[in-house]
A and B are shown apart, each in its own frame.
Chain A
């Protein structure tokens, strides 16, 4: 292990340049595509109600911010709350399921049934039973995000090195100690995979559920604003709502990736890069 202080060398300079390029290249590609979009729209003179240029979308984003911002906030809240509940539920139920083979045999199929049933198909039922539309959306998004976290956690909790389990037995570890010091940390990589998948899915589910719910009015999210813009043929606003949804998705992806990096970067390479 080298403990030398970081000295700027040719190698580290090359590494910095590579990092810079890694960030710059994707940005340049996106900028180029936006410019191309604007050029095409201007050159072909396609009407705005069919395809607005990026300029018109940006304009709409500013002009309709008063309508779009609250909707963005509603969608963000539903997505985050669903993800949070899915994390708590997924991890909690995974811990419950691994307690005995019989518990898993009895309850795992129910989780699978919930997962394989298309969420749009259950949405009308949930809408009937839930006290408010927001709660219904939350339940839908939760159901979708919950399963990948559950299945990854079950897999992770069960994939603990048998020798380490033996070691814990040897030192007389309690069930609780084995869970806290061994099973949970060992399943962290699986949890992170579940988190990243669940984060993306909870946003998708929040949007799809809102389409299904057909909610309207002041408390509605971006999906409703999207539909509303379509009915009114306000295509620039539709694009603006779409841009906001993409941005939200990118932010969620960024946050979940960062959390995964925080939790794993110091040790998890071990399972990726093997010696021998």
Chain B
């Protein structure tokens, strides 16, 4: 396991401060289940981190705790580079994309993307530009007036991503966002997220159980181990190629898949692994 603490740069350093620092976080549920045990993770601005692990390893719990959905039992989450609000969260710096699109069916696409701004008290007229820009980013500018039921599964997910982007967050948290989509749509959305990451410099923490997805997207892999959830391996994935169709066919990608797969297998203690 990599020494995570060494990534934690002391204040006053000329180096850019990390975006989020999870220190020795444990989480147990009221049922007594220990979901996370002594988990530490430091994410730098601009990273694309993939949280990977078998089901039940606490990767979604870790993501939710970073987002402030649920408290830690012990340990702390710090935001060295952000201004935090009374709830200890960086106001407007984080956005979350759930596994389901989680749209309000009674609102149009426009209304759904407007939600984060509406909750901040921004008027519809003032928000319109930001909303249309976010919709343009995900290629749904022409569907502003449509209702969610008129959209395909992939399009709904794009609306969900547009809603996450409308506040111009620094950190995008994605909890198995494309797990329910077909392979072609999933690849398309993977490419869209990569483009977004390259174009905006946003930091992404992407939870998945797919070796191929994480090897394709992330420049840093964090493999988690189950019962209780903790970090098992943490390594960068480097390639000279731009991530895209060319990368998907390259030797680099194959090697990355093998490396990630080996780390996951190791985390599962050699249990037979289901490949997705």
Contacts and interface: CB of A to CB of B under 8 A. Distances in A.
Interface in A128-166: 161, 163-164, 166
Interface in B162-220: 167
Contacts of B45: none
A268 B150 CA distance: 11
B115 interface: yes
B87 A172 contact: yes
A171 B119 contact: yes
Contacts, number: 67
A96 interface: no
Contacts of B74: none
Contacts of B68: 169-170
Nearest 8 A-B pairs (CB), nearest first? A270-B149, A270-B105, A163-B102, A267-B105, A267-B106, A171-B119, A185-B106, A173-B119
B105 A177 contact: no
A173 B91 CA distance: 12
B199 to A, nearest CB: 24
Interface in B129-159: 143, 146-151, 153
Interface residues of A, number: 26
The SS class assigned to the A binding surface is: helix
A267 B111 CA distance: 13
A270 B91 CA distance: 33
Most central of B68, B100, B150 by chain A CB within 10 Å: B150
A175 to B, nearest CB: 12
B80 interface: no
B48 interface: no
A181 interface: yes
Contact of A171 (B105, B116, B150): B116
B106 A164 contact: no
Interface in A245-271: 266-271
Interface of A: 1, 161, 163-164, 166-173, 177, 181-182, 185-186, 188, 266-271, 273, 275
Interface residues of B, number: 32
B147 A266 contact: yes
Contacts of A188: 106
Contacts of B116: 171
A182 B104 contact: yes
B110 interface: no
Given A1-B143, A164-B104, A185-B106, A170 B91 contact: no
Contacts of B102: 161, 163-164, 167
B67 interface: yes
Contact of A268 (B85, B89, B105): B105
B1 interface: no
Contacts of B119: 168, 171-173, 177, 181
Given A168-B119, A170-B67, A171-B115, A267 B153 contact: no
A163 B100 contact: yes
B139 to A, nearest CB: 14
Nearest to B121: A177
Contact of B146 (A1, A164, A168, A185): A1
Nearest to B147: A267
Interface string B241-255: 000000000000000
Contacts of B89: 172
A185 B69 contact: no
Contacts of A1: 143, 146, 150-151
Contact of B98 (A167, A182, A185): A167
Contacts of B118: 181
A5 to B, nearest CB: 16
B107 to A, nearest CB: 8
A191 to B, nearest CB: 12
A273 to B, nearest CB: 8
Given A1-B150, A172-B119, A181-B115, A163 B143 contact: no
A25 B85 CA distance: 64
B115 to A, nearest CB: 7
B10 to A, nearest CB: 31
B98 A163 contact: yes
Nearest to A161: B102
A160 to B, nearest CB: 10
Given A182-B104, A269-B149, 19 more contacts: A164-B104, A166-B64, A166-B96, A167-B96, A170-B67, A170-B68, A170-B94, A170-B95, A170-B96, A171-B120, A172-B119, A173-B119, A181-B119, A186-B106, A266-B106, A266-B147, A267-B106, A268-B105, A273-B149
